Structures are given as structure tokens and as C-alpha cells.
Chains A and B, each alone.
Chain A
Amino acid sequence: MKKIKPLLFLSIPIIVLAVYNIYSYDKFWEISVSTVITASIAIYISYYFTQNRLDQRKAQDSLEKVLSKLETEISRTPIRAMTSETEKSQILLGIRRINNKIFVLKKYQELFGIVEDVKWIHQRFKDYEEFVGDHIDDMDYLSKSQSELIRPLERIDDRIDTIRIKLYT
């Protein structure tokens, strides 16, 4: 109701003005073809650009959500709180979640002009993944390498911030 009130407030004088003109001005409906064409083109162009920008904004917001989810996955990766008792399944699931987010970024990287950033993230995560994969059955070794493993994740996190800024500038 709050949104409708100002709309009514604006539309009532316009309708009154239109009705007044129809009755007081004889040639109200007589309009040249060129005026119709000009008005139609103006309406079409303004609609096209508004809609286009709206679609672009929606796509940017969706990508922003993917970036936020990727950040969340990186921050809660089991590697951060790893002990020799950590389950292999937890590590594998964590890697899968991050990989899936990177996969989405790769799919739309060209659309948003972030090819180099995604390539960089992909490569850093690939190195991380290979290191973890090579020692997946040695939780003791992985827990001792925790600080080494967190470093590439922190760098990926920083790069996500760069992408986010790029999206809106």
C-alpha cells in the first residue's frame, strides 16, 4: 500500500490533464506518423536499455552470491581445524564444494571479464588439491602442514575480493 500511494498521487493529475485535453482540444487525436514513430523508437530504446541493465545487474548479483559461497567454503574448510583424527570424507567433501564453485566461475568467466582471475584461482586451488590428494591417507602429515595449506586459501580469498570490486567498477 505504501508503494501504491505515491503512484496514485502522480497518476491522478496526469489522467485529469489528459481528460481535460481530450475535451478542450479538438485535434487531440490527430497526430503525425513521424511523431508516432519517434515516440515508439524512444520508448523501445529506453525499455531496451533499462531491461538490459537490469538483467546485467541480476547476473552480477548471482555471481556475487557464488563468490560469497566460495569465500564461506574456504573459511570453513576442515584443513583449518585439522587434527590427525580428521575424517578423510570431510576433507574430500570440502574440496568438492570449492571445486564446484570454481566450476561455476569458469563457466561464466568470459561474460564478466574475469578470465585471468578465475584462471589464477583455479591454478592455486589445483596446487592445494594436489598436495592434499598426495597425502590424503596421512592425516598426521596434513595436520602438520596446516599452515602451508592455509596460505594458498588465504590468497584465493584475497583474489575473490579483487573480482568483487571489478564486478561493480
Chain B
Amino acid sequence: MKFCIAKDYTKTPGGRFIKEGSFSGEDFRKKHLSPLYLKAKNEEEKLEINFDGGYGYATSFLEEAFGGLVRELKDPSVLEHLSFISEEEPGIIEKVIEYIEDATKEI
């Protein structure tokens, strides 16, 4: 299962919460990430998130989307069902993994 944020959601992601503006991390998680993740997990597949094609990502967007996914589902196995592609900004993958791991420690 694949999802390209720039193609399937937006090229200019916003901040953390829906109340702060459009295309926030919370909005992305609720509308796309969370349902797709659950679907992939049920089908014993991996959800491949592609970060390329957009203008870049605010850290608050990434933390709320991916760290928020762990907090929302209280699922410590999130990393096992996700894979990432980011050729335009390789450091993003490291950050997202860190956000997921930090959130996992807190649940």
C-alpha cells in the first residue's frame, strides 16, 4: 500500500493542529494516515509513505502525524507496518522514526 503526501494530500503541509490552519499533521493523520495504517495492518501489509514531490515539511506536522499515530492508536508496533521514501530530504526518515520511537516510549 502506497501513499504519496505531495500527490495524494498536499505539496505544502501545514503545522500541528487543525485549528492552526489547513493541511495540518492532525488533519493528515485523521483523514489519511490512521485509516490507511489500520488497513495495511489488517491486511498484514506495509504502508509506504512517500515524502517526495512537495516543498518540505514542518517538524510539527511530522510529529503530530506520526508521533500522533502512536498516541492515537496506542500501538507500539507502528514502525513494523510503515516504510518511508524520501530522496529529496533524506533526514526526514530519521526524524519520523525518532518521533515514532519517542511516542512509543510514552504509551
Interface residue A145 (Cβ < 8 Å from any Cβ of B)? no
- The CA of A106 and the CA of B16, in the complex, are separated in Å by 27
Nearest CB of chain A from residue B23's CB, rounded to whole Å: 9
Q: Mark B91-105, 1 if CB is under 8 A from A, else 0.
A: 100000000000000
With A100-B89, A103-B90 already in contact, the answer to whether A136 and B56 are too (CB < 8 A) is no
Q: Is the CB of B89 within 8 A of A133?
A: no
Number of residues of chain A lying within 8 A (CB) of chain B: 21
Interface SS of A by simple majority: helix
Is B21 touching A137 in the complex (CB atoms < 8 A)?
yes
Asked if A136 and B14 sit within 8 Å, CB to CB, the answer is yes
> How far is it, in angstroms, between the C-alpha of A130 and the C-alpha of B95 when the chains are bound?
12
Q: Which chain B residue has the least Cβ–Cβ distance from A129? A: B59
- Report the bound CA distance from A52 to B79 in whole Å: 42
Binding site for A on B (CB under 8 A): 11-16, 20-22, 24, 54-61, 88-91
